[in-house]
Amino acid sequence: NVVGGRPVLYNNQSVELLLAVVTKSLKAGEAVWFGCEVSKRFASKQGIEDVDVHDFKLVFDIDIQTTFSKADRLIYGESAMTHAMVFTAVSVD
């Protein structure tokens, strides 16, 4: 999304694998940059980020959350990276 920049590539992995890889990188002293979608499933007044925060079935009579998998949402452009963050530390109990 930057003129002359590299195209955005999505690496769709399970949460469990992401946690394991991020933890390993942080323990090795490497910060981890990541991008995520936060605008569509965020209720700012309540401070909630959840795929079920809005009742799309009530409005559209279709449950779009179960119709598309996370991979499908990325492939078809229903979800896109709108926010970037960096993990810098981890605490494992």
User: Each residue of 24-83: pLDDT tens digit?
Assistant: 999 999 999 988 877 777 788 888 877 777 787 888 888 766 777 878 877 887 777 788
Q: Are strands 42-43 and 32-36 parallel, antiparallel or unpaired?
A: unpaired
Residue 5 belongs to some domain of the structure? no
Instruction: Judge whether 3 lies within some domain.
Output: no
Contact of 28 with 21, CB cutoff 8 Å: no
Domain annotation covers residue 4: no
Domain annotation covers residue 79:
yes
Domain total of the chain: 1
The more confidently predicted of residues 16 and 54 is: 16
Sign of CA dihedral 62, 41, 33, 8: positive
Range of the domain at 24: 15-87
